Structure 1
Amino acid sequence: MKNEDILQKLGIAELNAMQQEAYEAILRTRNDVLILSPTGSGKTLAYMLPLVQLLNADSVEVQALVVVPGRELAWQSDHVLKSMGSGLRSQSCYGGRAAMDEHRLLRKNRPQLVFGTPGRLNDHLSKGNINAGNIRFLVIDEFDKCLEMGFHDEMQRLLQQLPSLQRRILLSATDAEQIPHFVEMQRTSRLGYLDTEEPVPDRVEVYQVACPQKDKLDTLYQLLLQLGNTQSIVFLNYRDSVERVSDFLRKKEIVVSSFHGGLEQRQREDALYQFANGSATVLVSTDLASRGLDIPKLDNVIHYHLPLNEEALIHRVGRTARWDEMGRTFFLVGPDEKMPDFRNEKGTEGNLQSQLWEINSDSSADIPIPLMATIYIGKGKKDKISKGDIVGFLCKIGGLKPSEIGRIDVNDRYAYVAISRSSLKSVLAKVKGQKLKGLKTIVEPISVQHV
């Protein structure tokens, strides 16, 4: 498939400078490639576009591994590749679900490219579930995270299991102090697009919100009322804090998704899905959501707890102002706190340049209500149901206009669909008991309040 066709399918007009240079370095040379570029600049597409041209779609062997530090980035990257329509088969592998189930899928799908976390990839390689003999390409996404001490032993073991490796492609929004010797980077094309002077891009407006009390819950609530129906991520440093803040906001009737490492994988996926499709206005999360998530047009990043270091700041703020969009970041600063300051490479310090945001405690402000709601449809790909079938069903039977239907995800046995919240009750009433493509099915709302 031609690049022009893939870009058109993805709704992208043209590659940016980093993506174009990455494309040439990966496709036109035999060098290893190191890409340093800000979050939101399109690094996933930067390596995928040339890589799909280098892999053999007729083979039934895995030819490339993409190593990522977390589950969400694994399945999101897999989703991106599938949406490209390149003709390649792919699969994501990660902890939190049975390795045996993944093994069955590997045998059935015979992917040419596998996305995965270090531990789970090592497990499949050591058991022979993935044949390492044909793996020529290794991509390490968020390499600064994958190669830090917590993953060091797993990554070293992984590299040792890849005897046929020819090319290495490393990507990150923050540089690592050094790349471990076991990665064995050969002649390397280094693509540097990081602004080492500014941890926050110019496209992001920075605001300081003064909290009169150490407990910031009321200030956060008032801020969210003022931000209205915009999409916001609230970052905290601890899991129990995420639960506490989420519970508080839900009692205030704010529609919230919660996200942290202590949740089951399905809960985490559902939380991200319903936030990304507009069924929730707020995602409350630890820094787990600061890396690898592609949430289009995120308006606000709110630091309930101040970031612990500059790296955390960069990745948090990188969730907004994706590509060439604008964004805002808000620092909730308690009575004993100050705006974060970090040393740059020249060793100088300086507070982030910020504007003061005045909190208006007007109790008459409207509670933001999401524009979309998510419905569950109990039929999927295995029932030969497509996105087009679902759109036709919801329009013809449910009385929706195409403009009232948002993101559709069709899985093997079920589908999730975002529809206009104002039309939810009427749609459910009209489709009750109706057949989808001649099949009886369940259609019901998914509540985000418990995610």
Structure 2
Amino acid sequence: MQKEKYSLGNILTNLKIDSLNEMQQASVDANKHHNDVILLSATGSGKTLAFLLPILENLDPANKNTQALIVVPSRELALQIEKVFKLMGTGYKITACYGGHLRETEENNLIQPPAVIVGTPGRLGDHIRRENITTAAIETLVLDEFDKTLELGFQEEVSFIIESLPNIKKRILTSATESVDIPDFLALENPEKLDFLPEEGTPAARLTIKEVLSPENDKVETLFRLICYLGNRSTIVFCNHREAVERTSKMLSEKSIINTFYHGAMEQQERDAALCKFRNGSVNVLVTTDLAARGLDIPNIRYIVHFHLPHTEDSWTHRNGRTARMEASGTAILILSPDEKRMPYLADEVVENIELPATSTIPDKPKWTTIFIAAGKKDKVNKVDIVGFLSKQAHLKKEDIGLIEVKDFFSFVAVVKSKVQNTLEMIKNEKIKNKKVKIDIAR
């Protein structure tokens, strides 16, 4: 039987996991005995695997149609789920559909129906209206981060999607908060609720909370001094507005802090470049809106800096969920101006004050620089091709090449900063896969 190919042991080995955690095992067990399951568990606790395994259990290898649909609030979460599913090595096909991705590419991916589709409400609804997705065989529906998905603006689209699925037998809803009423159109029947949230929704104990008092209402100078104090560590700085993100990033750059910014109004390639540079260590500071508070798969983030105070406790929880994930520790830092006070929901928290030194030393510059290559999966280019190209044409050693990310139509590769200019000079007239493509420092 095909199922032997993807035993749980093989999947865990592929994911480099020793065993399921308590929450994941509870989800697997509950889904065997209940059609509808609501799973509440903290960000970073492994919810993705907790619903992918039950999906897998219900897939029929003889059925060549799409059998499961996963609805998510952001393209980043869709890509993360797609990545985990592929790493599981089951032999089943998955496709991600999201705004900012070429619809023609997705349409081509949907010609041979994937067993599983993951996507954002707007793009999924669009494909269903265009009849690119055959809905008749879809029996499993997952709403991941359903509280966010069902927020104002998504309700109508999610309702349309569900109305378009005539044969749903299983529904799985997951969230890191319990903060939204479940609408009637989901038609849940006696759902089994698994609550693995920390008591009263507090952040995990491994999260340390600190604060810095800014002497001025304009807190950029304090942020600069704080980053100098923290040193060359992976740090996300949260602002409440896109304009503030770009302004703050620019002012940090003017003070010689290497950083990048990220928000929802950027083009997809710009967003991919920003996240890749942060992931691969070309920059250690990411300035962003709450868009980065959910679904980003970036390991080893040490500090979360709340440059602007979060509007809600939910936002506070999700921002901090980017650090102190699984077994790691992390620190959330508030920057308070003279006119600002600590949020009421932190009244019972131990918050340590940081006294910044009088003089600031610029942190060491990152050792990596990210190179952009205008070729990707659709050009039949993969990571092995890129390593071979850089090794042969630029004489780079293995240790000179860092993280490589290959997208549909372009790729990013980290190269030791000291060798970038020489590398670009040596490869400027060379071809990848017999094709001349643009190669330059990622912007």
Q: CA deviation at 1:430?
A: 4.5
Partners of 1:124 and 1:402 lie apart in 2 by 42
Deviations 1:87-121 (A, max 9, x none): 221222222355455323322x4212111111221
Alpha-carbon contact 1:378-1:441 (below 8 Å) kept:
no
Partners of 2:393 and 2:20 lie apart in 1 by 40
Partners of 2:431 and 2:102 lie apart in 1 by 34
Deviations 1:99-145 (A, max 9, x none): 455323322x4212111111221222122111110000100011111
Partners of 2:379 and 2:102 lie apart in 1 by 24
Higher mean displacement: 211-220 or 61-70: 61-70
Residue 14 of structure 1 corresponds to which residue in structure 2?
19
**AA of the residue aligned to 2:286:** L
Partners of 2:120 and 2:102 lie apart in 1 by 14
Provide closer, same or farther for how the CA distance between residues 67 and 241 of structure 1 changes in structure 2, counting only shifts above 3 A: same
Match for residue 68 of structure 2 among 43, 57, 64 = 64
Q: How does 1:159-198 map to 2 (within 5 A)?
A: 159-197=162-200
Alpha-carbon contact 2:236-2:287 (below 8 Å) kept:
yes
Match for residue 398 of structure 2 among 380, 399, 402 = 402
Q: CA deviation at 1:39?
A: 0.6
SS in 2 for 1:376: strand
Partners of 1:143 and 1:128 lie apart in 2 by 25
Higher mean displacement: 276-285 or 164-173: 276-285
Q: What value does the CA root-mean-square deviation take over the aligned residues? A: 2.3
Partners of 2:223 and 2:380 lie apart in 1 by 45
Q: CA deviation at 1:232?
A: 0.8
Alpha-carbon contact 2:113-2:133 (below 8 Å) kept:
no
Taking only the aligned residue pairs, the percentage that are identical comes to 42
Partners of 1:387 and 1:420 lie apart in 2 by 17
Partners of 2:440 and 2:252 lie apart in 1 by 21
**AA of the residue aligned to 2:7:** K
Q: CA deviation at 1:371?
A: 3.0
User: When the two structures are superposed, what TM-score results if normalisation uses the length of structure 1?
Assistant: 0.90
Q: How does 1:42-191 map to 2 (within 5 A)?
A: 42-57=46-61, 59-97=63-101, 99-107=103-111, 109-191=112-194
Residue 389 of structure 1 corresponds to which residue in structure 2?
385
Alpha-carbon contact 1:379-1:441 (below 8 Å) kept:
no
**AA of the residue aligned to 2:29:** E
Residue 286 of structure 1 corresponds to which residue in structure 2?
289
**AA of the residue aligned to 1:358:** E
Deviations 1:201-256 (A, max 9, x none): 11111111010000000000111112222111111111111111011112122222
Q: How does 1:30-49 map to 2 (within 5 A)?
A: 30-49=34-53
Residue 419 of structure 1 corresponds to which residue in structure 2?
415
The answer to whether structure 1 residue 357 and structure 2 residue 354 are counterparts is yes
Alpha-carbon contact 1:35-1:172 (below 8 Å) kept:
yes
**AA of the residue aligned to 1:49:** L
Alpha-carbon contact 1:142-1:171 (below 8 Å) kept:
yes
The answer to whether structure 1 residue 446 and structure 2 residue 407 are counterparts is no
Q: How does 1:336-347 map to 2 (within 5 A)?
A: 336-342=339-345
**AA of the residue aligned to 1:356:** N
Deviations 1:427-447 (A, max 9, x none): 33444545556x354473433
Q: CA deviation at 1:366?
A: 2.8
Deviations 1:37-82 (A, max 9, x none): 1111111122123323432355432111110112222223223322
Alpha-carbon contact 1:234-1:284 (below 8 Å) kept:
yes
Partners of 1:114 and 1:14 lie apart in 2 by 26
Deviations 1:332-389 (A, max 9, x none): 01111121122xxxxxx725321111112424x1334223221233444445443233
Partners of 2:384 and 2:13 lie apart in 1 by 19
Residue 24 of structure 1 corresponds to which residue in structure 2?
29
Residue 345 of structure 1 corresponds to which residue in structure 2?
none
Higher mean displacement: 236-245 or 310-319: 236-245
Residue 3 of structure 2 corresponds to which residue in structure 1?
none
Q: CA deviation at 1:156?
A: 1.8
SS in 2 for 1:192: strand
Q: Which runs of 5+ in 1 are unaligned?
A: 343-348
Provide closer, same or farther for how the CA distance between residues 380 and 98 of structure 1 changes in structure 2, counting only shifts above 3 A: closer
**AA of the residue aligned to 1:75:** L
Q: CA deviation at 1:412?
A: 4.2
The answer to whether structure 1 residue 213 and structure 2 residue 216 are counterparts is yes
Higher mean displacement: 75-84 or 236-245: 75-84
SS in 2 for 1:168: strand
Partners of 1:327 and 1:436 lie apart in 2 by 41
Deviations 1:150-178 (A, max 9, x none): 32222222211111001001111001342
Provide closer, same or farther for how the CA distance between residues 11 and 417 of structure 1 changes in structure 2, counting only shifts above 3 A: farther
Partners of 1:320 and 1:303 lie apart in 2 by 13
Partners of 2:201 and 2:188 lie apart in 1 by 28
**AA of the residue aligned to 1:415:** S
Q: How does 1:205-354 map to 2 (within 5 A)?
A: 205-342=208-345, 350-354=347-351
Higher mean displacement: 420-429 or 82-91: 420-429
Residue 2 of structure 1 corresponds to which residue in structure 2?
7
**Count of aligned residue pairs for this structure pair:** 438
Partners of 2:421 and 2:363 lie apart in 1 by 20
Partners of 2:397 and 2:215 lie apart in 1 by 47
Partners of 1:159 and 1:32 lie apart in 2 by 14
Alpha-carbon contact 2:303-2:330 (below 8 Å) kept:
yes
**AA of the residue aligned to 2:368:** M
Partners of 1:237 and 1:385 lie apart in 2 by 38
Partners of 1:176 and 1:80 lie apart in 2 by 27
